[in-house]
Each structure stands twice: as structure tokens, then as C-alpha cells.
Amino acid sequence: MIITVASGKGGTGKTTVAVNLALSLKTANLFDCDVEEPNAHTLLHPAAMHTSSVTVLTPQVNQEKCTLCGKCAEFCKFNAIFVGKTKTMVYNEMCHSCGGCALVCPEDAITEIPRPIGQIHKSTIENVNLLYGELSIGEPIATTLIQAVKNHIDPEAVNILDAPPGTACPVIETMRESDFIVLVTEPTPFGLHDLSMTVDVVRELKIPFGVIINRSGIGDEGVVDFCKQNRIPILMEIPYDRHIAELYSRGIPFVIEIPNWQKQFENLFVEIGRLVKNGL
């Protein structure tokens, strides 16, 4: 089972939901796919980490062999390789590591070499196996690292994916292959605006989904009305509560301190299972 927790923008409580859900289950794998700003670990406080480097293959040009024929640059759809008057240059930050330039080079002047783009950190905290990616500063392509994180998904286990905020490529990369998507929003006009954009994306992916309203009580009925009109299940409402907010500010998941919430997240998981079984 793969459950992705997503939201149209940051700060809606997406990570809080993912962490509290993981902690409420007997055992779960939690993947923080927000590789540009991972923060699930700040709520779980892992004592020890196992860290490994993630590399991508990047072309390196042997200038002595290169005849400046231009075939590599002609092939590259990402303009990541430039053939000048005296030299051929590769722009690593634009390269998607497709390997095509090396294949088309008639002089065999291009070799692909591994280049580190980030790291993967692993740890186990009580019943949760946490794994998160951390993109190196200046690396613009997050999707490769997200794929590397997702390679650790165990199809036999419960896998909870904390998606990056927004609706761009990294979010879609995270959501792809999920069995269910939980969209976390706030009951405000801004929340509704972001939710409606995310719903459009999820519908394109044809994955069953439902909504969790966080900080319920602070805004208006717009999100509830939208969900009713579009027949989107509201899976849970987390009230705007001083105790929950205080725990969050101290980096403590609220299921640990407020035990009745653990039961509610267990019920949420059962409901997700039911919706997955019923399909879209």
C-alpha cells in the first residue's frame, strides 16, 4: 500500500499528518520526498542515521577526441551540451542523464561519469522506518532523487510518502504509482484555491483521494462545500487547537501526547483501505 500525503502549498500540516499517521500504525515506512526541504525527521528525532550518496551519470567530453561535429548538441533536448569553436561543454545542472549524447558521438569522445546530487538518510524510530532524500545545494532537478527515495518502497508494507508542496514535477513524481492520495488543506479561500488546483492534478493521475482539513474552525465553509459539490470524501478534520499547535512548535507529533488521536489515525487508515478497495 502506498499512501501519498500532499498539499497545494507548504505549511498546511502535510508532514504533521504523514508523521502522525505513520506513528499510529503497527509499523510503517515513511518517505520524506520533499527533497529540497525535508522535515519529517524534525518531528521524529532519529538518534542514528545511515546515510548514502545518490549519483547520476553525467557526460564528460574528451576534448582531444572531440572534432566539434555538433551531433551531441543537436541530439540534446535539454540544451545541456554546447559545442563552441574550440571546446564542447556540458552544463551539469541542465543534464537529465539520458545518455543520448554519448550514444550519438561518432568519435566516442563522451564518457558518462557518476556525479553526486544528494543523499539518502535512513533511520528507524519506534515503529517507523524513516527514509528521506536531501538534494545538494544548487542541484535543480529534484525528481531523480525522489525516484531514488521511492526505490526503497516495500510493496508488502505500508508506505507513507510525504510529497513536496505544490503541483509541479516533483509532486507528480511522488504521487505516481500511489494507491491513495491524502490532500491536506486549510479551510480558507487560499486553502481552497490550492486544493482545487491539486484536485485537478490528482484527477489526471486517476488515483483515489480524499481530503483532510487542518486547523479546522479558523476559516469558512468553502472547502467543505467544494468537497461536497465534487463528491470528495473529507477523511478527517484536525481542529485549530492550542495544545496541538504547542506540540508542533516543540517538534512533538500530537498522537504521542493526545492518545485519542492515535485511534482516529488508525480509523483513517482503515477508511483509506476501504476507499482503495472501492476504487475511484
* Distance of closest approach, residue 13 Cβ to ligand SF4, in angstroms: 37
* Distance of closest approach, residue 63 Cβ to ligand SF4, in angstroms: 8
* Residue 217 bridge partners (DSSP): none
Closest to ligand SF4 by CB, 115 vs 176, is 115
Q: Which long-range contacts (CB under 8 A, 24 or more apart) does 231-240 make?
A: 232/199, 233/271, 233/275, 234/210, 235/182, 235/210, 235/211, 235/268, 235/271, 235/272, 236/212, 236/264, 236/268, 237/212, 237/213, 238/13, 238/17, 238/212, 238/213, 238/214, 239/215, 240/215, 240/216
* Distance of closest approach, residue 74 Cβ to ligand SF4, in angstroms: 8
Q: For residue 72, count other CB atoms closer than 10 A to its CB.
A: 26
Binding site for ligand SF4 (CB under 6 A): 59, 61, 66-72, 75-76, 78, 80-81, 83, 88, 90, 95-101, 105, 107, 109-110
Q: Determine contact, residues 13/238, Cβ cutoff 8 Å.
A: yes
* Distance of closest approach, residue 105 Cβ to ligand SF4, in angstroms: 3
Closest to ligand SF4 by CB, 140 vs 189, is 140
* Distance of closest approach, residue 132 Cβ to ligand SF4, in angstroms: 26
Closest to ligand SF4 by CB, 78 vs 190, is 78
Closest to ligand SF4 by CB, 56 vs 125, is 56
Closest to ligand SF4 by CB, 58 vs 188, is 58
